[in-house]
Every structure is written in C-alpha cells, then in structure tokens.
Amino acid sequence: MFGVRCEGVLGKRRGHAVELRPTLPNGKQSDLVAIFEEQHVYFEIKRLRESDTQLALNRLNAVVFDALSDLTRDSRYPTLTGQDFKVELDTGLADLLGMGPDRDTAIIDGIRGKIVDGILSSVKQGQQVDFVIPAVAKVVMGSISEQERGVTSPGASFQAELQENFPWGPAGCN
C-alpha cells in the first residue's frame, strides 16, 4: 500500500517515475524504485506501523461502535432495542487525534459522550434519531442497509502517515 501511495505522491506531479517490485542491478527485487532523470532510489519496506493518528481514529471507531451496540441492547431504552446505526465521523477529527494517549482518551471519551447524549436526548423527546453534531459526526438510527451500518471515519491523511513514519521528511513525500 505504501508503494502505491508513494507512486501517487512522487508520480507525474513531481516528475518522478515509480516502479513497484523492480529488479535491482544485482538481480534481486526491491519493493519500489523512484526514478528522477538518471537517479534511481530503491526502497525496501520492512514494516511500517499505523500512525498514532490512525490508531486513535481506529480506537474512536471502536469506542463509538461499542457504546451504540450497548445502547441497542440496553433494556432501559426499548425504542433503541435492535436498532441499526450509522455514524459518520467528521473528517476534521483526524486533526485532533494522535497528539498523545491522554489527550486522545479525553477527546474520544468526549465524542462518545456527545453521541450517546444526542441519541438519548432524541429518544427522550420521542424523535427519530437522525442528527448532526457539527465537526464531530452525523448519527442515524433505524432501518439501515447492511452496507451502511456501523461507524466510519475518514482515516488519517497520507501526508500525516508519511510524516509520522519519516519524521526527517523524505524528499518528495512531504
């Protein structure tokens, strides 16, 4: 995946050619090569981890999913029992996360609380659960297609992933 993303970053826009799985001059294979004029830079990718931002987004998705799953099984809220849910987390959340575990936990707990409070407020008022929390999420509960059920987030940007994995800023990738 990194090679494909690098191809997009380094490709035509920057004047580089990128080849995946090129043959090295010694006959072995590399993961990718970036070519600019006569220069060839070979990359061997051993293992990259997800960025702290992406890990926090994944945790946010799981926390919100678990909280809503619990709500739909809670006997105190019979109108929610068995309801499907769809939560679309805002794209800007990626900019708030990945700044450290304590901060991420506080933000994630706050977002979970706002979503749960919004759902319970709608139920208390006898309204359909369908609302937007600006800069946080769009939340819908009811009959939702299997493909749309769950919690989605935009993911960390490719540039954020590269900067975290290559803090020295590889040429052409920032």
Residue 71, pLDDT score? 94
pLDDT, tens digit, 9 for 90 and up, residues 48-86: 677 888 899 999 999 999 999 999 999 999 999 989 999
Please check the confidence at residue 159 and state whether its pLDDT lies above 90.
Answer: no
Residue 174, pLDDT score? 41
Residue 21, pLDDT score? 77
C-alpha 40/C-alpha 61 separation (Å) is 40
Please check the confidence at residue 1 and state whether its pLDDT lies above 80.
Answer: no
Please state, in angstroms and as integers, the Cα–Cα distance from residue 117 to each residue in 39, 109, 113, following that order: 57, 12, 6
Q: For residues 29-54, give the mean pLDDT.
A: 79
Residue corresponding to tokens 């946080």: 136
Joined together, the tokens standing for residue 82 give 């068995």
Count how many Cα atoms sit within 13 Å of the Cα of residue 113 in the half-sphere of its side chain.
6
Residue 89 · residue 60 · CB < 8 Å: yes
6: number of Cβ within 10 Å: 23
Joined together, the tokens standing for residue 135 give 């800069």
Give how far the C-alpha of residue 40 lies from the chain's centroid of Cα atoms, to the nearest Å.
32
Please check the confidence at residue 38 and state whether its pLDDT lies above 70.
Answer: yes
pLDDT, tens digit, 9 for 90 and up, residues 111-148: 999 999 999 999 999 999 999 999 999 999 998 988 89
Please state, in angstroms and as integers, the Cα–Cα distance from residue 7 to each residue in 11, 20, 50, 84, following that order: 5, 9, 19, 39
Q: What is the DSSP string of 5-55?
A: HHHHHHSGGGT-EEEESPBPTTS-B-SEEEEETTEEEEE-----PPPHHHH
